[in-house]
Structure 1
Amino acid sequence: MTTYHFIGIKGTGMSALAQILHDSGQKVQGSDIKKFIFTQEGLEQKGIRIMPFDANNITEDVTVIAGNAFSEDHIEIKRAHELGVPFFKYHEFLGEWADKYTSIAVTGSHGKTSTTGLLSHVLSTSLPTSYLIGDGTGFGNENSTYFSFEACEYKRHFLHYKPDYAIITNIDFDHPDYFRNLDDVFDAFQSLANQVKKGIIACGEDEKLHELQSNVPIIYYGFSAENDFQANNIKVAEKGTTFDVYVRNTYFDTFTIPLYGNHHILNALAVIAFCHYEGIDPKIMHNLSTFNGVKRRFSEKKLGEQIIIDDYAHHPIEIAVTIDSARKKYSDKEVVAIFQPHTFTRTKTFLQEFADSLNEADCVYLCDIFSSAREVSGDLTIEDLLEKIPNGTLLTLDNVDVLAKHKDAALVFMGAGDIQKFQKAYENSKNEHVK
């Protein structure tokens, strides 16, 4: 039996894929940097070996799967080519693996991970399902009927997939280091739509999604009556959000999700629409009510009278919906945004949009820009964003205790870099037991 060796096994998608292969009875190992990354917890729990990068990790009996972040001059990739062992990039292998099942690719500029997590939960609670979630969570077995997986549009990697179904949450301009503009992003999603085999579940609230052309049916979901699946009579309560679902203007059922914010209702509608189209028992759809969320997507804990929220939001639209969720869930508390911009390219492209979304919070703290390995430097600083936020303050690891003055608040830590180090530093400074 070959051993699958993952180069960059701590990546979110890579970690999830490694767990899927492990659960399916394959021998799995991987390599990565020594620094702790939250995704390694799932790997360690399953006994998957993680090694430091070393050319000697590559032997003649391995099949190599390399993370998309690594170039051809990486020491392990060079060694793999020298030995001539089977070699795949992450998205190449995932595309082949997905073909074994009834596959549902969950994609979109925002909301991929939360929607994949929700769909995976609903299906796997009652049906044999494998899934790959972009928070590093993966589960698999060869007997699965369905495979739910997150499909990322960056560098058009998702065009290696030919899924039976695609759920598309939205089309928006992001990844400005690769995409030229919104039309370029749309072109990528249109190319994916051309490869879908059975049906597309698309958010009807998104104007660009109405421009999609497809040889398979497109099912729209949203809040307006023009959608095939509509959420109506929305009620927010302590236990979450309850809403009625109408299918082509006829009442279908009432659902409750333990989540807050319109984006979560839309995600739930996407899952309901897929299940309905696939002929899945409505009782299974009600697994929505027991969803506990995904990692780094509105993850919460209590610290004294404060609520600490950790979220991956790194685009202005994502920031806006995260702040909106905090307002709806904690309407009696001050909402404090702590944000670390991710990449100079994105920060420069959306500078005003970042300011507009952050200004929805009662108070804003900005951490220095997190530079990605994809870029060398930027010609702007965090001060450029700070001057557009009247209630903004620069936060460093040395002054995190300033957050303690917001005694009855929801502190929302947001970012795709290492924002967690600021959260951890603050929790340590409080020197108080986390409830």
Structure 2
Amino acid sequence: MDKDTTYFFVGIKGSGMSALALILHDRGLNVMGSDIDKYTFTQRGLEKAGIEIFPFNPDNIKPGMTVIAGNAFPDSQPEIKKAIDEKIPMQRYHEFLGDLISGSTSIGVAGAHGKTSTTGLLSHVLKGIAPTDYLIGDGTGKGTPDARFFVYEADEYRRHFLKTYPDYAIMTNIDFDHPDYYTGIEDVSDAFQTYANQVKKAIFAWGDDENLRKLTAKAPIYYYGTNDNDDIQAINIKRTTSGSQFEVLYKGTNLGEFKIPLYGEHNILNSLAVIAVSYFEEMDLDEIRNQLLTFKGVKRRFSQIKINDMTIIDDYAHHPSEIKATLDAARQEYPNKEIIVVFQPHTFSRTIAYLDDFAKTLVNADKVYITKIYGSPREKSGKISSQDLVDKIKKDGGLIEREDMSPLLDYHDAVVIFMGAGDIQSYEHAYQDLLTHLSKKIN
């Protein structure tokens, strides 16, 4: 990479884009970018690094730059169009990432669900033992001099991960998501099969996923899970209100006991995948154990705060499988508390595709409130509304508006989980403001 070049990111606040910008900045390169004025949770890291963010404007693009274009923007976007018209070097995000991972032992984490949490955990473990570059889908990125490893979140949307050829791959699951692009589960499986063919050393895949079990590849595939037919198996599992512990077998050999300060079965599975990669790279098992114990999670994945007597959890879950995992984790940590969910359906196409599954999963909470559907700029509003989901759930709660979060004030010494991938945090902040204001009035 050229230290005399300015790398300009169009859409720099995107979760992957911001992480990539931070990696280049850490490598001593000149980085800046453009985006909307609205504040996003990825913005803080860029600001702390001193990376300039400009409003979208074609005048931002100048000769001598290399433009990295976010995948959310078409070639007709004014800045991208100017780069193309004036033959200023430009690559799409996923293309640039494919070039960037060469030179280190690369590990791509793919899956319809769980890839951000697993990427975060793997990054935490490896960087505590050896120099590691990492790119996490929560907007976190880090570049390290002479990195041994490059850990990255491999995004299957529009088959973007097919521009990368990693040494290792973790595959958490194959599920039908992104109904605006994929035609069905067979189409998604085809994308993962192609990705599997591009892995060089080994693949670690969740053994309970029937579609992952169908994969073939030149690299060996090792399955992890809790069953006897898994190559990497968790046994003697104990889940408590302080976390989880388990022993690990690798092809019958006991690697000993591991503990994690995390909740939910999915985090045990994520840990198995991380242990497997680390073990294959001949990391000391005690060092792996120590690093697992100090992991504090990633942004917008079961993030918690407490106000008055209420526990508030912020989670990115927007697919039925993710909702199930989040509720499982909440029940483990808070077995004696009432669990209230405020869920924001994400996109009309996903809400239509998963209406019944959302209802079957959300009914496991004690109370369920549904916000307006968060529509994607890529789609028009469909023939569905949040009321359709409320009618399916048939649970105490109902519709809730950001302008009136007062129904949540009826609960005390309980857990409220705000779930969604849109602007659900604005509802959460409105509720927090209500609680804080109420506390001041009482005091």
Provide TM-score, normalisation by structure 2. Answer: 0.97
Question: C-alpha distance in 2, partners of 1:421/1:398?
Answer: 10
Q: What is the alpha-carbon distance in structure 1 between the residues aligned to residue 9 and residue 229 of structure 2?
A: 46
Q: Deviations over 1:159-201 (max 9, x none)?
A: 0001111000000111011111101100000000000011101
1:209 aligns with 2:212: yes
Q: Which of 26, 31, 35 is 1:32 aligned to?
A: 35
In 2: Cα distance, 1:163 partner to 1:347 partner: 33
Q: State which of 426, 430, 436 in structure 2 corresponds to 1:425.
A: 430
Matched, 1:342 2:338: no
Indicate conservation of the 8 Å contact 1:336/1:412, yes or no. Answer: yes
SS at match of 1:156: helix
The equivalent of 1:330 in structure 2 is 334
Deviation at 1:14, TM superposition (A): 0.2
**Separation in 1 of the partners of 2:145 and 2:130?**
13
Return 5+ residue gaps in structure 1 as ranges. Answer: none
SS of aligned partner of 1:56:
helix
2-structure distance, mates of 1:222, 1:55: 50
Moved more, 229-238 or 366-375: 229-238
CA contact (8 A) 1:123 1:284 kept: no
Is 1:376 the equivalent of 2:385? Answer: no
Over the matched positions of the two proteins, sequence identity in percent amounts to 53
Q: CA deviation at 1:43?
A: 0.4
Which aligned pairs between 1:4-403 and structure 2 lie closer than 5 A?
4-286=7-289, 287-391=291-395, 392-403=397-408
Kept in 2: contact 1:133–1:149 (CA 8 A): yes
Contact 1:342–1:415 (CA under 8 A) maintained in structure 2: yes
2:91 match: secondary structure = strand
Matched residue SS, 1:310? strand
Q: Which of residues 3, 6, 11 is equivalent to 1:3?
A: 6
In 2, distance between residues paired with 1:229 and 1:31?
Answer: 44
Q: Residue 413 of structure 1: which of 394, 411, 418 is its match?
A: 418
Residue 393 of structure 2: SS of its match in structure 1?
A: coil
Q: Secondary structure at the match of 1:388?
A: helix
Cα deviation for residue 238 of structure 1 reads 3.6
* Kept after mapping to 2: 8 A contact 1:225/1:249: no
Q: Distance in 2 between matches of 1:329 and 1:226?
A: 29
The question of whether the paired residues in 1 share the 8 Å contact of 2:234 and 2:246 is answered with: yes
The AA in structure 2 aligned to 1:317 is S
CA distance in structure 1 between the partners assigned to 2:117 and 2:342 by the alignment: 21
CA shift for structure 1 position 279: 1.5
Alpha-carbon shift at residue 399 of structure 1 (Å): 2.1
CA distance in 2, matches of 1:74, 1:142: 35
Give unpaired runs (5+ residues) of structure 2: none
Per-residue CA distance 1:265-303 (angstroms, 9 max, x = gap) = 000000001111222221231111100000000000001
Deviation of residue 401 (structure 1)? Answer: 1.5
Offset, 1:225:
1.3
Structure 2 CA distance, aligned partners of 1:330 and 1:196?
Answer: 40
Q: Is the 8 A contact 1:116 1:150 kept in 2?
A: yes
In structure 2, how many angstroms separate the alpha carbons of the residues matched to 1:341 and 1:257?
A: 31
Q: Is the 8 A contact 2:343 2:370 kept in 1?
A: yes
Deviation at 1:379, TM superposition (A): 1.3
How far 1:19 sits from its partner (Å)?
0.1
Q: Residue 131 of structure 1: SS of its match in structure 2? A: strand
1:325 alignment partner, SS class: helix
Asked if the contact 1:334–1:362 (Cα under 8 Å) also holds between the matched residues in 2, the reply is yes
Q: CA separation in 2, counterparts of 1:117 and 1:163?
A: 17
Q: SS at 2:392's partner residue? A: coil
Q: How many residues align?
A: 434
What residue identity is the alignment partner of 1:382? S
RMSD between superposed Cα atoms in Å: 1.1
Question: Partner letter of residue 342 of structure 2?
Answer: I
Instruction: Tell me if structure 1 keeps the 8 A contact 2:131–2:145.
Output: no
CA deviation after TM superposition for structure 1 residue 258, in Å: 0.5
Work out whether residues 130 and 141 of structure 1, in 8 Å CA contact, stay in contact via their aligned partners in 2: yes
Secondary structure of 1:427's aligned partner: helix
| TM-score for the superposition, normalised by structure 1 | 0.98
One-letter amino acid of the counterpart of residue 179, structure 1: Y
Deviation of 1:82 after TM superposition, in Å, equals 2.0
Note if contact 2:308-2:435 (Cα within 8 Å) is conserved in structure 1. Answer: no
* Corresponding residue SS for 2:246: strand
Deviations 1:8-49 (CA, angstroms, capped at 9, x unpaired): 000000000000000011110000000000101000001001
- Displacement of 1:249 in angstroms is 2.1
Q: How many Å apart are 1:377 and its aligned residue?
A: 1.7
**Runs ≥4 residues deviating over 6 A:** none
Q: Matches of 1:141 and 1:331 in 2, distance apart?
A: 41
